[in-house]
Structure 1
Amino acid sequence: MKEEAEAAVETAKGVLQDLVVVVSLVRTLTDSFGSASDLYRKLKRKSHSKCSEDEVDSDERKRRAQRRRCNSSYDRERSRPGHVSWNVGPRKDDYSDSDEELICTSSSQVRAEYERGYRKLGEPFARGDLMTHTQLQAQIIQLQQTLLNIHQDLLLSTYLTPSSSHSHLVRLIQTTRTTRAASIQALNLQYHRLLPTIPPKRLPHIPGAFPLPSHRDHDDHRPARGYNPKIRRRRSSSSSSSSSSSSSLSDNKKSRPKPKPKPKPTPQPHINRLFCVYARDLQDDPHLPLTDNYKAGGNNLCPYCHSHIATRTGKAWEIVVDSGKNFDEHTKMLSRTFLVKNRFVIKSHRETGGFACVLCARFKESDTVCREIGALMEHLWKEHTSEDLGKDEDIVEC
C-alpha cells in the first residue's frame, strides 16, 4: 500500500511539472500586474490630502522650471547652423507620473521579453526549464502576497489615513518594480541558456602561405639511389636472372598506390558580426521595445554584450538635411528636420564597441563603422539624403 501511494505521488509530481510551463507562469504574472494596476489607481484616488497636494504642486513647479530650461537651451542650440543636438522626442504613452507608468507597462514589458524568446526558440522556450519555473513562481507569490495584504488592510480598516495609503502605494510600487525586473531577467537568462552553441570557427587558408607537406612515400626510389655494386659480391651470371630482378622491381613500383590529393576545404558560411545580437533583434523586429536598462533609472548596458550606450531617456538627436524640390522647372532647396530616436542608436551598436550605420548595411554596398554616437550622427547628416533617413522607422520627420 505504501509503495502504491509513493508511486501515485511521483506520478502527480510529474503531471504538475508538465503543467507548470513558462507560458502559463507569464500569463499568471501579467494578470497579477493588471491587478496591481487596478489597486494602484484605487489607492491613488483615496490618497487626497493637503500634504500630497502640496507635494504634487511642488513637483509640477519643478517640472515646469526644468521644461523652461530645456526649451531655452534648445533654442540656443538650434540657432547654430548645421547642428546635431539633443531634443525632446514624442512619447508613445503619456502617464501622469513615472510610478503609474512603471505599474501600467510592467505587463507589456514582460510579455514582450517572452515573445522575443518564443520567436527565436519556439516551443522549448515556452516550456522553459526548472530554474525559470522556480524564479517566476517566487515572483508571482511575492506580488500576490503584497496585493492580498493591502486588500486585507483596506477591508479591515474603517478609516484610511493619507499616511497609510501612502505606505501602501510605496510598498506596491517597490514590489512591482522588483517583480518586473526579476521576471525579465529570468526570461532573458533562459533565452541565453537555450541558445544553440556556435561551433568554433576554422581558420581560413591564407593566400601565399607555404603548402602543407604531402604524405608521400619517399621510399619509392631509395633502392635505386642506395644501390652500390660493391655490396653484391657476385653478379648474376645469367641474363635471365638480371631481367627477372628488373621486372620484379618495376612491378613493385607499379603496385604501390599513389597518394590521393587532399580535398579543397569547404568555404565557411559568412557570419554577420557587424552588429550585436541584441541590435540585430531590434532590427529584425521594429515593434520590439527596449529593455529597462535604457529607461529612466537604467544602467544603459546592453543585455547581451553589456556595452554601455550613452543615451538619455525621452531624448532624440535632431538632424537638419537639405533636399531639393522642383517648382515649375526650378529646383528649390528645402530644409527637412528629422529626429533620430534612441532605438536607432541602440540597434546600431556593435558587440566589440562602437557603432555601425544601419542604413549603409541595408541600402549600400559598403558598411560604415563609427567610434562614437556623435560620429554616427555626423555620418547620417553628411552621407545620407532625406530619402534615406525616411526609410527607417526609428527616424521620424518633424
Structure 2
Amino acid sequence: MNYANMIEEKHLKKGFIVATLISTIVGTLTTSMTLHDKVQEKRDKKKQKALDAKQTGEIEKLRKRVDALKSGNESDDETESTGSRSKSRNRRPRRRSLEEDDFVHESRRSRAMIERMYEDHLMRAGDRYATGDIMTENRLQKQLIQLQQTVINVLQNALYSGRGLTETDQRRLIAAQSAARDGSLDALEDHYARISTRQRREILPNNTTQRLLPPAPSISNETPSTHYLPPNPSPAPTTALRPYRLPQSTRSYSPDPALFCPYSIHLQNTSQPLPSSTTTEPPETSLTCPTCHSSIPVSARDYWILSTTGPPPSSSTHPHHPISDEVYEEEDDFIPLPAAATAASPAYPRNREWKLTARFLVKSHTPEGKFACMFCEREGKRYVCVARSVEGLVRHLGRWHVGG
C-alpha cells in the first residue's frame, strides 16, 4: 500500500514524513522482489538458450548415433556418462529454488510486518503518527539507505552482468532485509510510545456524569503553615489515632514527575481536598483531571475498607511491607481504623482495617489514566505497580501492603 498517496493534496504529503518513508521502504522491498525475478528470468533465458544450443548438438549426435547403431558401433560408456550428467543437472536447480524461496518469503514477511504495525499504530494515534518527528525520520531514512545500498546494488549488479545470484548474494539479501525490517519496526514502536506519552486523553462521552477537578494553584500562591507541638502532649491511643508528623511541605520524599500527573503531585504535596459532590443530583460518578484530562471513575465521597484477614503474601520481587512502616505514616488518605476485637492468630493477634479514600486514588493517577502505587514509589522499589483501573490498585494495596 502506498501510504503517501492516501493524502490527495501534494502540499499535505510533505508533512506526513513517516507515511512517506514507510511507503518508500515497502516499495523498496517490492522493487527488490521485482528485480530478483528479472535476474532469475534473465538467467533462465540464458540457460534456456544454452540448453537449446546443446539440444541442437544432442540431436546431431543422436542422428550420428542412429547411423552408428546400424553399423553396431554404439558406445555403452557414453550412454552411462550422459545419464550421470543428467542426474547432476537435475539436482542443481532444486537447490537454487530453495534459496529463491527463502528470499521471496523473507521479502513478503518483512513487508507485511511493517505494513501491519504502521496501520495498527495509525489507527490508534491518528495523523500525528503519520506526521512523525525528526528522530523517527532519521531512523527510518537510515534503514532505507542501508536497504537500498545492499539489496538494490546486489540485484542490479547481477542483472547487468548477466550472472545468476550466488549463495553469498542470497544470504546478503536476506540479512539486509531482516535488518531493515527490525530497524523499521523498532523506530515505529518507539515513535508510537512517544506519541502515546504526549497524547492527552479526551473527556469521556456524555453518558457518564463527570466533574472537573479544580486546577492546582501555583506554588508561589501557597503560604507555608507552621504547626507547634503542645508543651506536654498526652500519649496517643494505639488504635484509632495516628502519631504526629511534620507538615506536608517538609516531607522527605519527592514524587516522581515522570510517573505521576502534575495534578497528582500537587495533591500529594498539599492537603487540598477534592471538590464536594454533595450538592449535585444525581451524585457525580467520575472526576476529570484538569491537567491531563484523564477520567477517574470515583466520586469525592467514595472510600474502601481494607483489612488483614490472614498472613500476607510475599515474594523476592515484591515483599510485603507492614502498614506501620514510615512511608505509610505520612499518608493522610490511608487511615487506620480501630482494631477489631477478635483475635486471628499469634502472628496477627488482632485484625486491622484501613480506610482508603477517593483522594488517594486521584493523587495516584498517571498522565495516561492509569494508577501508580505511591507506597511502592516512596519505598524506592525497583518495580512500581501501575494498575490499569481503580479496582486493580485497590487489589494491589490489599494484597501487597495490607495482607489477606
State TM-score, norm by structure 2: 0.35
The higher relative CO (CA closer than 8 Å, separation ≥ 6) is in 1
State TM-score, norm by structure 1: 0.35
